[in-house]
Structure 1
Amino acid sequence: MLDGLDRSTLNRTITDSRFSLVRIERLIATSIGVIGLVFGAQTLSIALGAGVVVPGVLGSVYVCVLFGTLGAVILLWFSPRLQRIANTAFALLYLGAIAYWPVATAGVDAPNPAEPWTWYLCAIACAAAAQAFRPVLAVIYIVVTPAVYGITGVIDSTGQIIRAEVALQNALYGSMIGLVIFALIMTFRHAARRVDQARSAAFARYDDAVRQHARELERIQVDALVHDTVLASLQAADRARRPEEASLAVSMASDAIKRLATLDDPLSDVGETASLQSLVSGLEAYAAALDTRFDVVIDPGTDLAIPYPVAQNLYLAATQAMANSAQHAAGGAAAAEVHRRIVVAVCDSDGVAIDISDDGVGFDRLTIDPNRLGLRVSIIERVVAVGGSVELDSTPGEGTTISIRWTPAEARATEGASL
């Protein structure tokens, strides 16, 4: 049972360990795509007006390759992995394009020198590097690329820098913008990794809690089964001094053999729910098997259905209370007449209340051995395991009443508190 539960739990709880990081990467890729579209369109209009002064078709190739790669970055916004490839290509091509700019335009010696239109693509190139490169390489690129642009924008045909202050200003400004973008991307990624780690740890703790809960339920079921069958039958046989006690021991032993041999559930309803009427029928059949009279009363006109595992545990807890009453209520007096009663009713419109009572000898609750399995395991723990509660009212000489309650609301509250 535990193996099956473990597989089911793992299937539900083990998810992608990079759940948040994947979403952040998609957000980064989308942002780069949007920024690339806006600045790329602006830069393209400027480039078509200014152009690149080179012989033949080299200028057209220059523009087409640069903007074609940028177009791939924009079009691949939906896939961070594919965009990473396009970002790598664009970042490298952009660095080569600005380094080649003085050759393509004659630099500041051109007849009508103007600020290189490649400047508007610098922030996109830095963002592409921040997304595609390793952090160290990304920082180096973000520092080097604006510096290269600053130098190539003010260099003449002899290799002399004409306006060093402009080059420094452009380099510092470009690096600052690029580093801000880099810091934002790294911050988002770090936060996403922390969220994923916390999420994985929470799932691991939840999975462990579920398995521990399952083990506890299995222990309760095994302890209760052993007590209800083997120990209860042996105790009844050991205490049998009169024919009616011997008959009770034989009935309990017969029931024990059937349960151990078949391990079938005593309720006939094998669906996901069990009716209240089927629960009452099971209690009546058990009373007949004990050969002890119980007046079974059901709340009239109800067709309430409850989860089958709940009905199963309520049935087993109630039958154990019945067996206890059959064994102990008379107090060993052969002639004692004990009236026993079971009331099954609906509580809180969707819950179940079962009261097992007798007017027998009763007992002092403070004298009960805490290690007694009959009350602690077979009754209380069985009911608590499905989110119910048990109340015991017994006084020496005044009989005993065991009240079992289960409602969906209390069961949900109990499950939430335990996990």
Structure 2
Amino acid sequence: MTTEAAPFGVDPARSVRATITQASTERAFAILLAVAAIGFGAAFAPSVVTQLPYLDPVWGPASALAVGASFVLVGVSAFVQRLAQPAQIICALLFLVALVTWPITVRDVLPSTQLPWPWWLCNVATIAAAMGFATWRASVYNALVPAVYVLIRLTPAGGGVGISRALLDGVYTAILGGAALVLIVVLRRAAADVDAAQATAVRRYSRAIREHATEVERVQVDAIVHDSVLTTLLSAARADTIEAKTLSARMARNAIDHLDAAASDGPGSTVPPVPLVELRQRITAAVSALAAPVDVHGGPLGSRTVPAAVADAMASAALQAAVNSVQHAGADVSRWVVVRQERDVVTVEIGDDGTGFDMSSIPAERLGVRRSIVERVAAAGGVADVRTAPGAGTTVVLTWSAAKETSE
């Protein structure tokens, strides 16, 4: 028999944050690309300017300015997330246009010491394509850019270098672009898997919370029916004196009050905490209506309070334990209830020196101990410990820790 309460947790969607998510990964990529675009653009801007005299006076500056503006847009997109993908696509397309039109951009042959300025910015464009395009489009782009650059390097406009040098430059560009594409695709898929796993965990946790809430409600209803209704009916059936009939009527009113309270209690209701002094008074008033005397005592309780749900659970469980004692412990038995506080732990002890019983022999259909005491207190965040043996009396210890609830 378990006495641990199933924990009520906060919404995991709010309290749990995965270290890698698709959104955080995309933002990190956008920031890195923005740094690369601004950094490379600023570093090689003087080299571009030195090549302008060799380029077409209209298209040369226009293509360079267009690519530079796209780099600036990529840098701005690091701060405006919705601009990230459009900026990446524009950057990749404008660079590809500048690269393809390079043969008609060059008016005079470049000095042998200079490389075509698109060379310095190839990998910024391939990374932008890997981030902005779908995987297959990015793969085509990363293959197309090195191929076009190799062809350009073989022409006079690209320097007319040999096939070995052109292939070396093209392979270098392809390796860097391909590595970046693979890394981006792998991290994106890993982040998507993390998001999917987190969403699945949230759904399962929410389902567990609903099932637990249903179980708690069932325990509460079972306990109310057993404690209030069945006990009242048994008392009324045995009432053969004026005093017994008066007690039965009082118990019936209490049962109706319990059912009304259960019906009006909802998840949005807010009930102020209950002082321990009031909890002890509530237990005293409840057990005073029983057919046998029950002594309620304990030391000073101070100003400590407990949540209303905890107070209700402990008071009802204490009453049920006392009712069980009156019904089963025998006559001429001492019965007591002790309410005490030790730091953050509240303890309610209900005991007698009667006949006791064997816990393992209780049939499963009997709800008194399991539903009305153990599970009721567990549902409120406490623990119920039943200590008994045949001929050794019975002691039921209900404990609730404020420190445990705070930590949860």
TM category (shorter chain) comes to: 0.7 to 0.9
Instruction: Give the counterpart letter for 2:382 in structure 1.
Output: G
Alpha-carbon separation, structure 2, partners of 1:111 and 1:391: 92
Query: Is the contact between residue 344 and residue 403 of structure 2 (CA under 8 Å) also seen in structure 1?
Result: no
Alpha-carbon separation, structure 1, partners of 2:358 and 2:88: 80
Alpha-carbon separation, structure 2, partners of 1:203 and 1:43: 49
Aligned to 1:224: 223
Q: Does 1:83 align with 2:88?
A: no
Helix, strand or coil for the counterpart of 2:350?
A: strand
Aligned to 2:3: none
Q: Does 1:69 align with 2:70?
A: yes
Q: Percent identity?
A: 35
Query: Is the contact between residue 102 and residue 153 of structure 1 (CA under 8 Å) also seen in structure 2?
Result: no
Alpha-carbon separation, structure 1, partners of 2:105 and 2:285: 99
Deviation, structure 1 residue 202: 1.4
Query: Is the contact between residue 359 and residue 399 of structure 1 (CA under 8 Å) also seen in structure 2?
Result: yes
Query: Is the contact between residue 39 and residue 121 of structure 1 (CA under 8 Å) also seen in structure 2?
Result: yes
Helix, strand or coil for the counterpart of 1:290?
A: coil
Q: Does 1:374 align with 2:373?
A: no
5+ unaligned residues in a row in structure 2: which ranges? 1-8
Helix, strand or coil for the counterpart of 1:342?
A: strand
How many residues align? The count is: 395
Note the alpha carbon deviations across 1:9-49, whole angstroms, 9 max, x for none: 77966999998101000000000011112111121111112
Alpha-carbon separation, structure 2, partners of 1:24 and 1:186: 11
Aligned to 2:336: 341
1:353 to 347, 350, 360: 347
Alpha-carbon separation, structure 1, partners of 2:240 and 2:393: 23
Helix, strand or coil for the counterpart of 1:199?
A: helix
Query: Is the contact between residue 25 and residue 188 of structure 2 (CA under 8 Å) also seen in structure 1?
Result: yes
Aligned to 2:5: none
Q: Does 1:401 align with 2:400?
A: no
Aligned to 2:323: 323
Task: Considering Cα pairs closer than 8 Å and 6+ residues apart, tell me whether 1 or 2 has the greater RCO.
Answer: 2
Alpha-carbon separation, structure 2, partners of 1:241 and 1:396: 31
Cα distance change on mapping 1:149 and 1:271 into 2, 3 Å:
same
Alpha-carbon separation, structure 1, partners of 2:359 and 2:64: 93
Alpha-carbon separation, structure 1, partners of 2:390 and 2:95: 94
Output the aligned Cα RMSD.
3.1
Cα distance change on mapping 1:152 and 1:11 into 2, 3 Å:
same
5+ unaligned residues in a row in structure 1: which ranges? 1-7
Alpha-carbon separation, structure 2, partners of 1:311 and 1:161: 90
Deviation, structure 1 residue 220: 0.3
Q: Does 1:41 align with 2:42?
A: yes
Instruction: Give the counterpart letter for 2:255 in structure 1.
Output: A
Helix, strand or coil for the counterpart of 2:79?
A: coil
Helix, strand or coil for the counterpart of 2:363?
A: coil
Query: Is the contact between residue 63 and residue 98 of structure 2 (CA under 8 Å) also seen in structure 1?
Result: yes
Alpha-carbon separation, structure 1, partners of 2:167 and 2:290: 99
Deviation, structure 1 residue 139: 0.8
Moved over 6 A (4+): 8-11, 14-19
Helix, strand or coil for the counterpart of 2:257?
A: helix
Query: Is the contact between residue 388 and residue 410 of structure 1 (CA under 8 Å) also seen in structure 2?
Result: no
Cα distance change on mapping 1:373 and 1:170 into 2, 3 Å:
same
Helix, strand or coil for the counterpart of 1:44?
A: helix
Pick which of 242-251 and 79-88 moved more.
242-251
Query: Is the contact between residue 389 and residue 405 of structure 1 (CA under 8 Å) also seen in structure 2?
Result: yes
Cα distance change on mapping 1:367 and 1:118 into 2, 3 Å:
closer
Correspondence 1:19-30 to 2 at 5 A: 20-30=21-31
Deviation, structure 1 residue 110: 4.8
Pick which of 217-226 and 37-46 moved more.
37-46
Aligned to 1:141: 141
Alpha-carbon separation, structure 1, partners of 2:199 and 2:68: 42
Query: Is the contact between residue 88 and residue 132 of structure 1 (CA under 8 Å) also seen in structure 2?
Result: yes
Deviation, structure 1 residue 133: 0.7
Helix, strand or coil for the counterpart of 1:391?
A: strand
Query: Is the contact between residue 91 and residue 125 of structure 1 (CA under 8 Å) also seen in structure 2?
Result: yes
Helix, strand or coil for the counterpart of 1:405?
A: strand
Deviation, structure 1 residue 395: 4.9
Alpha-carbon separation, structure 2, partners of 1:241 and 1:399: 29
TM-score by length of 2: 0.86
Alpha-carbon separation, structure 1, partners of 2:209 and 2:73: 48
Cα distance change on mapping 1:248 and 1:328 into 2, 3 Å:
farther
Instruction: Give the counterpart letter for 1:229 in structure 2.
Output: S
Deviation, structure 1 residue 210: 1.1
Instruction: Give the counterpart letter for 2:236 in structure 1.
Output: A
Pick which of 111-120 and 79-88 moved more.
111-120
Cα distance change on mapping 1:73 and 1:396 into 2, 3 Å:
closer
Instruction: Give the counterpart letter for 1:30 in structure 2.
Output: I
Aligned to 2:6: none
Correspondence 1:96-115 to 2 at 5 A: 96-106=97-107, 109-110=109-110, 114-115=114-115
Alpha-carbon separation, structure 2, partners of 1:285 and 1:368: 29
Alpha-carbon separation, structure 2, partners of 1:14 and 1:391: 33
Deviation, structure 1 residue 258: 3.1
Q: Does 1:254 align with 2:253?
A: yes
Aligned to 2:209: 210
Aligned to 1:198: 197
Query: Is the contact between residue 51 and residue 110 of structure 2 (CA under 8 Å) also seen in structure 1?
Result: no
Alpha-carbon separation, structure 1, partners of 2:351 and 2:51: 99
Cα distance change on mapping 1:153 and 1:383 into 2, 3 Å:
same
Pick which of 14-23 and 24-33 moved more.
14-23
Instruction: Give the counterpart letter for 2:394 in structure 1.
Output: T
Aligned to 1:50: 51
Cα distance change on mapping 1:76 and 1:261 into 2, 3 Å:
closer
Query: Is the contact between residue 60 and residue 106 of structure 2 (CA under 8 Å) also seen in structure 1?
Result: no
Deviation, structure 1 residue 191: 1.2
Query: Is the contact between residue 147 and residue 167 of structure 1 (CA under 8 Å) also seen in structure 2?
Result: no
Query: Is the contact between residue 25 and residue 80 of structure 1 (CA under 8 Å) also seen in structure 2?
Result: no
Alpha-carbon separation, structure 2, partners of 1:204 and 1:322: 42
